[in-house]
Amino acid sequence: MAGTLRSRSRRNINDLASDSVATKMLGIDSPSSDLEIYSKEVLNSLINDNLPPTPNNFSLYFDRLLENKSENLRKQIHSILELEESNDAENTITLEQNLKKGFSSIKNILGVTANLYKNVSLMTKILEKRKSEFTELSDIASSAILVGSIESDILKLNSILKKQNLQMKTLYDETAEIVKSVENETIFDNQFGVYNKRFLLAKIQQEVELINEFKHKSSLIMIELSRELKQNVANDKAIMLMTRTIARLLLKTSRRSDIVAHYGGGVFAMLLKHTDIESAQRASERLAELVSNSNFFLSDREVLLKISIGITNIDTHFTVDEIVVSAMDGIQQAYLNPKVDFAVSLRSNQVVKEKK
């Protein structure tokens, strides 16, 4: 494939740039950056090679065609791509290293445990032997000697057990530290089958940086099971099942580019990339309708699911925590109006009105 790519004739960046007049005549906006120009070249190459412009094919051609470009262009595009790239590979390597250390520590703990068991078994056998010897003794002097021998055996074993106990404690502390480190590197919430809070906050921060560079619009919505519904059900197990149902519906309705995560306490979040407030409202409306049409049976009665959604925009002037708080404020606004299932936060509402 690489040889085929190099042997075919390609129009370079300059050729595409010279076509700006033609693109305008065709009703196509002229590319405003080298990245846009290069992306069009990649797309044209895929079409010329009769390949479908899927994300995987585009990524493959994007990387291979870039090898033949100037060093300045490569540096420029790589610097832009770094904003989108995450350190997932590095995190995976660190996670694997910690897991290997953890397995090694567990193996050592099992080894020490086995030695402890052997020593205790040995002591049991020694005591059984001394017991039988006692029954054969008839004078006090011999008994005293045997008792002294038993005491010596016990002291020796006690000294060995103390060392092994200290070794066990050290290994346990090391393993606990590794487990804690692994937990800090995870990005998945096993309880609900979505991303966790740590991953969500990292992605919001990444999106803030991308928006600051490319000036597009993105939104964040926070979702929770209606508090009124939770009060009416008042059954922890049923509420947990309902919350898991909400998580599944969020995954079902989300796009590939959306980030679905559990923020905590049964509150979920969806990072909607390249989605303005109006589009986020439409998405929230569809989601609320989907949830309300989902049946949930509790014993012999049917319960209609209901959620409350808060919406906010990703604003580069605010921190990640402030953006999350803004979305949570949207949930509070939704509760103030019983007729709606979602609401835009006061801050985002103000921003939208000012822009209009």
Q: Does residue 145 have a pLDDT over 50?
A: yes
50 pLDDT tier (thresholds 50, 70, 90):
very high
Alpha carbons within 13 angstroms on the beta-carbon side of residue 72 total 2
Q: What is the DSSP letter of 344?
A: E
What pLDDT score does 23 carry?
A: 37
More confident residue, 75 or 146: 75
Task: Give the domain ranges of the chain.
Answer: 2-84, 88-185, 194-355
Q: What's the CATH number of domain 194-355, 3.30.70.270, 1.20.1640.10, 3.90.1150.10, 3.50.50.60?
A: 3.30.70.270
What pLDDT score does 87 carry?
A: 61
More confident residue, 143 or 175: 175
Q: Is the full-model pTM beyond 0.85?
A: no
What pLDDT score does 239 carry?
A: 94
Q: Does residue 93 have a pLDDT over 90?
A: no
> Residue 328's CB: how many other CB atoms inside 10 A?
18
- For residues 211 and 218, is the Cβ–Cβ distance under 8 A? yes
What pLDDT score does 353 carry?
A: 52
Q: Does residue 274 have a pLDDT over 70?
A: yes
16 pLDDT tier (thresholds 50, 70, 90):
very low
Lowest mean pLDDT among 23-32, 156-165, 243-252: 23-32
Q: What is the DSSP letter of 69?
A: S
More confident residue, 76 or 135: 76
| Partners of 298 in beta bridges | 301
What are the tens digits of pLDDT across the range 292-342? 998 788 777 888 899 999 999 999 999 999 999 999 999 999 999 989 999
Lowest mean pLDDT among 13-27, 64-78, 142-156, 311-325: 13-27
Mean pLDDT over 237-243 rounds to 94
Mean pLDDT over 206-213 rounds to 92
Mean pLDDT over 249-274 rounds to 95
Alpha carbons within 13 angstroms on the beta-carbon side of residue 250 total 29
Q: Does residue 49 have a pLDDT over 70?
A: yes
What pLDDT score does 79 carry?
A: 81
What pLDDT score does 31 carry?
A: 40
Q: Does residue 12 have a pLDDT over 70?
A: no
Query: Considering the chain, what is the average pLDDT of its residues?
Result: 83
- For residues 291 and 243, is the Cβ–Cβ distance under 8 A? no
Which residue reads 């044209």 in tokens? 44
What pLDDT score does 88 carry?
A: 63
352 pLDDT tier (thresholds 50, 70, 90):
low
Q: What does the alpha-carbon distance between residue 103 and residue 97 come to, in Å, rounded to a whole number?
A: 10
> Residue 323's CB: how many other CB atoms inside 10 A?
26
What pLDDT score does 147 carry?
A: 75
Q: Does residue 354 have a pLDDT over 60?
A: no
Lowest mean pLDDT among 130-134, 191-195, 329-333: 130-134
Handedness of CA 125, 129, 130, 134 (dihedral sign): positive
4 pLDDT tier (thresholds 50, 70, 90):
very low
